[in-house]
Amino acid sequence: MGEAREVTEPIQEDRRQGLPDRRENPLERRTGVDRRSGWDRRRGPGRRRPDERRAAEEGEMNDEQFELIMAIDAYKRANNRPFPSYTEILEIIKALGYRKIAEPKSLNEVKP
C-alpha cells in the first residue's frame, strides 16, 4: 500500500464557528407580522384546505364551478377513473341538473 500523503489545501473552517447557537436563545423569535390570510387564521394552526376549497374560498371559483369540480371528483372516486371521458363529464353535468335550453353561441363569444 502507499504512504499517507500530506494534504496541501487548507481545511475550511465551519462558517458557524464562534457564533451563538440560535436554539439556546431564550428570546421568542416568532415576533414577525402574521402573513396568513383571513381564511387561514380562522382555521387555526395545522389545518390545510384542499386546493379546490381554497380556490373557491379565495374567489378564484364561483359556486357552480366548485360544484362541478366536486361532482367530477366524486365520480372519479366512485368509478375508480382518474380521467373521465368527455361523455362521462357530460353525464355528470346532466346529473347536476343542467340542460340545454338556449341557442348555441360561438365559442368566441364565451368569456372564460
Q: Where are the domains of the chain?
A: 51-99
Residue type, 60: E
| pLDDT digits 0-9 by tens, 6-24 | 655 555 555 666 776 667 7
32-36, 41-45, 56-60, 88-92 — which one is most confidently predicted on average? Answer: 88-92
Q: Cβ contacts of residue 95 below 8 Å, gap of 6+?
A: 71
Q: In this structure, are residues 49 and 57 in contact, taking their beta carbons and an 8 Å threshold?
A: yes
Show the cell assigned to 22: 440560535
Q: What is the pTM of this model?
A: 0.47
- Give the mean pLDDT of the chain: 76
Q: Cβ contacts of residue 29 below 8 Å, gap of 6+?
A: 22
